[in-house]
Structure 1
């Protein structure tokens, strides 16, 4: 027995030493470097599948600088006007696609490094959350590196980490992110819903959001955009169900027994969509369902924050997670890279929540990692078999989409519990004043 005790003590000491190294500053820096080296090498191995959109960004930027013809300013675009900033920046001082792709990747990695720095410095569990974030990015695979979502995901994370202490700054960052790609607007909705008074709402949400929006729209209008400053919304209305979206799951699964269901390439917006009148009707319905869902979630968060004001910041994180999930579940687009939006609220919650709240965020943290892995298998690993209707790759995306729905229901259920007065074991985040 004494020898077994000594052996156990040594094992415990060894694990403690390893944990201390991993959670050290240099441990996290090493993890960041290794994770991003792996992701970059993986991205290069897939080449066109990952950097296909980047080549389009390069074409837009080069055409703008060389011919003076810019998206939004001169023609309708599928992205908000603010997306011109990250898309144009890598083209400054570079020539050719390779140089653009290198600068694009470097910018995304640098922004993610900034987000990781904020995360690791967040008490009480920021360094543990930083490791979860790195694991999440590796699990999701390289898709986020070659998309605008790789820009907005770190902005979502930074804004959520600043929300408790600097809500006005958090709103400004999230609003800028929303003008690049709409998803960070979920943080603005959450901040608005959990504002403690009308003066704070005006000061911390309305004013910074209005200033950032005025700057972005003002610059677009000054550049000659006119009504095209809002063209992103019209562009989205013309789309039907993207093949891998949650709402397309039934149509995708039905391919197992119904050969008439077709998935075809849309060469205007460069994506695969489900064809047919039923799919178009569902897509049209989602145009209404999605904004209604966001409004209802905002109202639910407002009720929860009023019922339990001491949990306002926890409600904010739950609200952001639920809204981001709704933006995927009720979205007729549903691209794989959208899953990058889900990491920030979980990482922020793992950093800010005390040990007593582990039971609240640990299951969704595991669930989001599972969704990320299945998403990487869907794209880029086996997208061809999925489009080809191979049974195993019809089932796996369906399971992923089911996981997204379960995560949304779980977040909504937590908010409902708080809003109706149930007192779940959800202690106040220790950094909330």
Structure 2
């Protein structure tokens, strides 16, 4: 029998509340943390100046040259970015003059986009505050690099698309497709959504139609502007590049510098990056050109298989697939710029915010920690010690190699999890 409380029991004070836990759940504290974090990152970006904002000055030049001469990237000459990137690149120049004004408006735009994504994460998911705290920790570890790159635009778009994928896959596809026309990475969300659709009708309605509409708008506007075949020129712009110095595939060459003086890094003044020289590096880079899309196809197939076996866990599989693809886009990328790491935070933040408590959620905590460490390792490589890394100092070569190895482990872990869901019904 259950004991009946007497009057004395009723007079006992209630158990003390977990004030620490309730404080962390406060949206006001989270908002304050968001402001403080971004103030710190902006201050740090200003301190590093051209190391962070070097690309932004190039964006400003493209925009100003277009406004002054009528000659625009994609519309009048080939460009390293997809046509949709013109929107964020040109937007700041419409409200300000000069490089400094452009940098201020650009930074404000990135912070605003991240604020929108964070608010959506908090308001639209069961444990959004938890996911948002992790997201802020991730950005703190990564440092200010995302503020000065187009990746600062697409990382919030990936976050928004993954949040919306839970209940509004068509809108998620539209957002991710728009992001992919700025930089290709958000396309991983589209692939994940496509591979987890229930049937052909669902695929057409949720993915093909919204993706086609967004793509038609972008390409159509580019064609109206006179782009012609340049609307798709981005897909051929990377062909001449060799291995970037900090790329994952370049790790062996980087480590070999410890004993082989013949391994050299040179500055490519056409694309403003440091690259490994030599026929071996060139061969690896050429192999990655076809290996990367092959890996994406394999991951899409594994995702489809897992979703067929576990349709009740389709959303979890979307997050796993997006995470695996986004990490693969770094691991098998001959470019491998440090800001790419901003892509891989959103799937973890959304998983922590949405997945039900239990084994599935617990499985995300190890990669959540690993990705924070990868982000901090990236920060050490760039901007903190990029000079020592290029100079071949052993401690920095070691840090960069460990960071790259961790990315490979994260990719293998996500892929293994998807494959296990496909192979085992009670996974």
For 1:66, which of 55, 61, 68 is the aligned residue?
Answer: 68
Is residue 397 of structure 2 the alignment partner of residue 370 of structure 1? no
2:391: which partner in 1? 388
Q: CA RMSD, aligned part only?
A: 1.2
Distance (whole Å) between structure 1 residues aligned to residue 76 and residue 325 of structure 2 = 32
Report the CA distance shift for 1:214/1:363 in structure 2 as closer, same or farther (over 3 A).
Answer: same
Distance (whole Å) between structure 1 residues aligned to residue 91 and residue 301 of structure 2 = 38
1:402: which partner in 2? 405
**CA-CA distance at 1:422 after TM superposition:** 4.6
1:416: which partner in 2? 419
- Aligned to 2:267, the other structure's residue is in SS state strand
Is residue 25 of structure 2 the alignment partner of residue 23 of structure 1? yes
1:43: which partner in 2? 45
Q: Is the 8 A contact 2:75 2:222 kept in 1?
A: yes
2:249: which partner in 1? 247
For 1:140, which of 142, 148, 153 is the aligned residue?
Answer: 142
For 2:351, which of 349, 352, 355 is the aligned residue?
Answer: 349
For 1:299, which of 288, 298, 301 is the aligned residue?
Answer: 301
- Aligned to 2:370, the other structure's residue is in SS state helix
Please, what TM-score do these two structures have when normalized by structure 1? 0.94
Q: Deviations over 1:250-279 (max 9, x none)?
A: 000000000011100000000000000000
Q: Is the 8 A contact 2:310 2:425 kept in 1?
A: no
**CA-CA distance at 1:13 after TM superposition:** 5.1
Q: Deviations over 1:318-342 (max 9, x none)?
A: 0000000110000000000000000
Q: Is the 8 A contact 1:160 1:317 kept in 2?
A: yes
Q: Is the 8 A contact 1:78 1:232 kept in 2?
A: yes
1:310: which partner in 2? 312
Distance (whole Å) between structure 2 residues aligned to residue 276 and residue 318 of structure 1 = 37
Aligned pairs (5 A) from 1:97-246? 97-246=99-248
**Unaligned 5+ runs, structure 1:** 1-11, 425-433
Distance (whole Å) between structure 2 residues aligned to residue 315 and residue 25 of structure 1 = 29
1:428: which partner in 2? none
Q: Deviations over 1:174-194 (max 9, x none)?
A: 000000000000000000000
Distance (whole Å) between structure 2 residues aligned to residue 164 and residue 366 of structure 1 = 24
Q: Is the 8 A contact 2:309 2:425 kept in 1?
A: no
Q: Deviations over 1:168-221 (max 9, x none)?
A: 000000000000000000000000000111111000100000000000001111
Distance (whole Å) between structure 2 residues aligned to residue 179 and residue 13 of structure 1 = 52
Q: Is the 8 A contact 1:167 1:205 kept in 2?
A: yes
**Unaligned 5+ runs, structure 2:** 1-14
Distance (whole Å) between structure 2 residues aligned to residue 423 and residue 282 of structure 1 = 40
- Aligned to 2:274, the other structure's residue is in SS state strand
**CA-CA distance at 1:121 after TM superposition:** 1.4
**CA-CA distance at 1:22 after TM superposition:** 2.3
**CA-CA distance at 1:353 after TM superposition:** 1.0
- Aligned to 2:233, the other structure's residue is in SS state helix
Please, what TM-score do these two structures have when normalized by structure 2? 0.95
